[in-house]
Amino acid sequence: MLEPLYLNLGQHDALSEEEKGLLAGAMTIELDFATGQDIVSEGSRPGYSTLIIEGLAARYKVLEDGGRQFTSLQVPGDFVDLHAFLLKTMDHGIIALSPCRVVAADHSRLRAITEQAPHLTRLLWLDTLVDGAIHREWIVAMGRRSKTSHLAHLVCELFVRLQVVKQTNGMSFRLPLSQAELADVLGLSIVHMNRVIGALRRLGVIGWSNYIVTILDWQQLVEIAEFDPTYLSMNREPR
C-alpha cells in the first residue's frame, strides 16, 4: 500500500524497516477523491497530511479574474500537503486531476516522528525540500525558457519522477491532463498551449494522445529542455 512512499523517500537514502513501520503506523486515514474534487482547500487548516497512492493531483491558486495557476503536479508517493504540518494554514488548494486514492497521517503522529525519529524526520524534511527545488526549476522555466523548452522540461521531469515510483511504461506514461489544464501549468492560453504541443509533436520528439505521453527521442527532448535532473536529488546518500 505505502510502496510508492517507500520508493519516493527511499530514492534519497535507505529507509529502515523500523522507519517503514513508523510511517505505516502514522498513515491511518484512507480516502478516495473523484476527478475535479478538492483534496485540500485554500484557507483550510487540515489536521492531517495527505499522501497520494494512486492518481494525479495539483496545487493551485485562483486569481480574482478567474485565472488559475498550478504550482505543482503531485504523483503517487508524493505528500501533497506535508507542509501544512508546520505552515498550519493552506495558502493554496489541492485538486484531484484524476480519481485519487490517498492515505493521510494525523499531524500529532507526524509530530511524534519529529520527537523520536530524527533520521526519518530528515527524510520527510528532504521530501519538502525537493518540492522546493522543483518549484525553483519551474520558476526558471517560466521566466527564461521558451515555451517549447518549458513543455519539454516538464515532460522530462514527469517522466523521471514517475519512473521512480514505477508509473511509467517503457518510454510512455499516462498524463490525465486536458490541454486547458496543461495551460494552467505553463501559464499559457489554451490556444497557444495547443500550438506548443503541436510544435514538439511535429519535431517528432514526443507523441501525445489519449492522455498518454510517449517520448520518441529522449536525447533531443533533453536538449530542447536543457534538462539536468540534479535538482531532484535522486542519488542515495546519508542524509
Residues that bind its own copies (CB under 8 A): 43, 59, 61, 63-64, 67-69, 71-72, 83, 86-89, 91-92, 114-115, 118, 121-122, 125-126, 128-133, 135-140, 142-145, 184, 186-187, 226, 228, 230-231, 233, 237, 239
- Helices 147-164 and 118-144, axial angle in degrees (round to 10): 160
Among 41, 108, 146, 235, binds DNA (CB under 7 A): 146
Least Å distance, CB 187 to its own copies, is: 3
| Interface pick for DNA out of 34, 195, 226, 235 (rule CB under 7 A) | 195
Of 61 and 166, nearer to its own copies (C-beta) is 61
- Piece of 41-49, 78-86, 92-100, 176-184 that binds DNA (CB under 7 A): 176-184
Least distance CB 201 / its own copies (angstroms): 23
Residue 145 CB neighbours (<10 A): 18
Measure the CA dihedral 31/154/197/193, to 10°. Answer: 70
**Contact assessment for residue 8 and residue 77, using Cβ atoms and an 8 Å cutoff:** yes
63 binds DNA (CB under 7 A): no
Beta carbon of residue 158, minimum distance to DNA (angstroms, whole number)? 16
Q: How far is the CB of 178 from DNA (least distance, A)?
A: 4
**Minimum distance of its own copies from residue 64's CB (angstroms):** 6
Q: Which three cell numbers stand for residue 194?
A: 495547443
DSSP assignment string, 174-235? E----HHHHHHHHT--HHHHHHHHHHHHHTTSEEEETTEEEES-HHHHHHHHT--GGGG--S
Phi, psi for residue 174 in degrees, rounded to 5: -90, 130
Please tell me whether residue 62 binds DNA under the rule CB under 7 A: no
80 closest CA partner among 108, 112, 117, 54: 54
